[in-house]
Amino acid sequence: MPKSAESPLARSFGATLLKHEYFHGLLPREDVAILLIKHGDFLLRLSEADSLGTKLETVLSVMHDPKSRYHGHDIEARMEYLVHIIVQYSKKKCYVVPEQTFHSISDLITYYLNHTMIFRSQQIQLNRGVGLASWEFRADSLQLDQLICMFSCGEVRRGKILRKDTDPTDVAIKTVGGRSQEAKEKIRELMVQCRLLNDLYHPCVVQHFGVCLIGQPNCFVFEYVSDGRLDDWLRAHRNLKRDDLLLMVMSAGWGLEYLHQNTILHRNIAAKNCLYDKQFVKLSGFGKIKKTDSYTMKSSRKMAIKWMAPESIESSVFTQKSDVYGYGILIYEIFAVKEPYEGRSTAEAKSLVILENDRPDFPGHMMNKLSEVVKEKMWAINPEKRGTMRQIMVWMQAYTGMELRIVGGEGRSVAAIHQKMDALITKDVELQSLPGFEKTQAKTFVHKKRKK
């Protein structure tokens, strides 16, 4: 039976804070600078007062930049101009300085909208309360429906975004409950995803709609993809036609190319981290994404060794070229319908990749030219010998004849596949004669984010 997200979420913070349009719940500091733009912009949020998360503090965050010094700076620089003021409570009254107490947060805000606040020798002015961004949801705008799966500190459900003037939007809602260390780490991970993915839209990347941080559990709202994980789909449908498999390969490639165009490393390309909807493979599993061209992991984390490039295994270095290696492994998974190095231990797989330069063997029905390109241009031990995703997709489009076309404008775009009948896959074409690995550059598709 469908259930609203309102009841546990709303009650946990009380009506006093919830009634304010500028209350943002457990919004992290890192996201405040995204929302507060002008001098005097402010919002209310909650912060944990202890490491266990058992006590929450009310925080008044204000952009204090009277000389407009931050203009044109990036988010990290803008954070220096933020002032975070803890609202104190005593004897049923609240205050930011003990000399001036109020019966309610509303009274406090109203007073300082008309009077300067002296805080740590600074003259703080409140000018404009900033409401929720398009990616922040109130509890009563989300509906939780059927359970999809559970994980250690939460669950994923089908659900809906409820709007007054339009039909509900079907979504998947990941909820994270409690304030355990594991839950807090998961929330931090999902908030990183939110920051990186909110402004992106591509039909081959699972869309991130936003978050609800106003209560417990925290909710993270993603596109609902009807047929679930790609690896599960492949195992259940082993007699797929060649073009169906190639479309899976192409759509995953378009998605990864788009991420690279936006300077995002995925770092975890695998069939288990892709979703499928009978037409497109959509990249998902964004727990390790980074906004950079190159990243060196400084602390040890559990990683999927069998899917990783040699340099990532050996030196913890991740680049777009290591993503390209992972894309080659994904192509293998699509055609072989099994994990790489299946039946081997992680230690054995590591030794095979690093010491023996061993790569998985493609099944007999794999096209020879495609397997050559994977081995030579995606799995080369030297990352510099691998192609870029743009080069690879130029070649793939010429080889398969498949092109991605976006029809319509922002908010109403429809993705469609066009396939040429004279694709090179139908001919006996030598590898070196195919386009993509010369100076030829692909025309890239930059898709506007659709309206939420």
Tens of pLDDT, residues 118-149: 988 889 999 999 999 999 999 899 999 999 99
So what's the pLDDT on residue 182? 85
The predicted structure's pLDDT at residue 8: 36
pLDDT of amino acid 436: 59
| pLDDT average, residue stretch 400-421 | 74
Asked whether 49 and 57 are in contact (CB, 8 A), the reply is yes
Residue whose entry in the numeric block shows the structure tokens 């055609």: 335
Residue ranges in 167-319 assigned as alpha helix (H): 181-197, 230-236, 242-261, 310-315
pLDDT class for 255, splitting at 50, 70, 90? very high
Q: What average pLDDT does this structure show over 209-229?
A: 93
Using DSSP's 3-state secondary structure scheme, residue 311 falls into helix
The pLDDT confidence band at residue 452, using thresholds 50, 70 and 90, is very low
Three-state DSSP class for 346?
A: helix
Cα–Cα dist 154/179, whole Å: 11
pLDDT value for 446: 43
Q: What is the pLDDT of residue 79?
A: 84
Residue 121, pLDDT score = 86
- In the DSSP assignment, the letter for residue 6 is H
136-223: CATH architecture: 2-Layer Sandwich (3.30)
Average pLDDT over residues 310-327: 96
Q: How far apart are CA 447 and CA 301, in angstroms?
A: 34
Strands (E), 52-181: 56-63, 82-90, 93-97, 100-102, 117-119, 122-124, 128-129, 142-151, 154-161, 169-176
Give the contacts of 99 (CB within 8 A, at least 6 positions apart): none
Structure tokens at 55: 């006590």
**Kind of pairing, strands 142-151 and 3-4?**
antiparallel
Strand partners of residue 407: 414
What's the mean pLDDT when you consider all of the chain? 86
d(CA 388, CA 383): 10
pLDDT at residue number 19: 85
* 8 A C-beta contact, residue 52 and residue 113: no
Rounded-to-integer distance, Cα 350 and Cα 344, Å = 10
* Rounded mean pLDDT, 8-16: 48
Task: Indicate the pLDDT class of residue 398, thresholds 50, 70 and 90.
Answer: very high
CA atoms of 183 and 189, how far apart (whole Å):
10
Question: Cβ(324)–Cβ(373) under 8 Å?
Answer: no
Q: What residue spans define the domains of the chain?
A: 17-129, 136-223, 229-419
Q: Which of 149, 131, 175 is nearest to 4 (CA)?
A: 175
Instruction: For the domain made up of 17-129, give the CATH fold.
Output: SHC Adaptor Protein (3.30.505)
308 pLDDT band, cuts 50/70/90, is very high
Q: What tokens appear for 109 in the block? A: 């805000």
| Greater model confidence, 416 or 344 | 344
| DSSP per-residue letters across 154-205 | EEEEEEEE--SSS--EEEEEEEE-S--HHHHHHHHHHHHHHHHHTT---TTB
Kindly tell me if the per-residue pLDDT of 422 is higher than 50: yes
CB 435 within 8 A of CB 394: yes
The candidate with the shortest Cα–Cα distance to 323, out of 266, 257, 270, 254, is 266
Q: What is the pLDDT, as a whole number, of residue 71? A: 61
Pairing relation of β-strands 56-63 and 82-90? antiparallel
pLDDT of residue 234: 97
- Residue 254 CB neighbours (<10 A): 27
pLDDT value for 126: 96
The answer to which of 118-132, 175-189, 299-313, 427-441 has the lowest mean pLDDT is 427-441
HSE of 100, CA atoms in CB hemisphere, 13 A: 15
The answer to whether 17-129 and 229-419 have equal CATH topology is no
pTM: 0.86
- Write out pLDDT tens, residues 18-53: 889 999 999 998 899 999 988 999 999 998 876 655
Name which of 30, 23, 31 is nearest 56 in CA terms. 23
Residues 91-125: tens digit of each pLDDT:
889 999 988 999 999 999 999 999 999 988 889 99
**50-73 mean pLDDT:** 79
The CB density around residue 21, as the number of other CB atoms within 10 Å, is 12
Return the H-helix or E-strand segment holding 407. Answer: strand 402-407
369 in Cβ contact with 429 (< 8 Å): yes
pLDDT of residue 324: 98
pLDDT bin (cut points 50, 70, 90) of residue 442 is: very low
Considering Cα of 397, then 401, then 402, then 404, what sign does the dihedral take? Answer: positive
Confidence tier at 54 by pLDDT (50, 70, 90): low
For the cut 60, the answer to whether the pLDDT of residue 433 exceeds it is no
- Return the pLDDT at 340: 96
Q: For the segment 329-379, what is each residue's pLDDT rounded down to a tens digit?
A: 999 999 999 999 999 999 999 999 888 889 999 998 899 999 999 999 999
pLDDT given at position 355: 82
Of residues 436 and 342, more confidently modeled:
342
Q: What is the pLDDT of residue 444?
A: 41
CA 327/CA 65 separation, integer angstroms: 45
Sign of torsion, CA 341 347 352 353? positive
Domain range 229-419, its CATH number among 1.50.10.20, 1.10.510.10, 3.30.465.10, 3.30.360.10 = 1.10.510.10
Average the pLDDT over 430-445 and give the result: 48
**Is 188's pLDDT higher than 60?**
yes
The three-class DSSP label of residue 304 is coil
pLDDT at 426: 57
- At 210 the pLDDT is 95
d(CA 314, CA 387): 21
pLDDT at 263 over 90: yes
Distance CA 54, CA 60 (A): 20
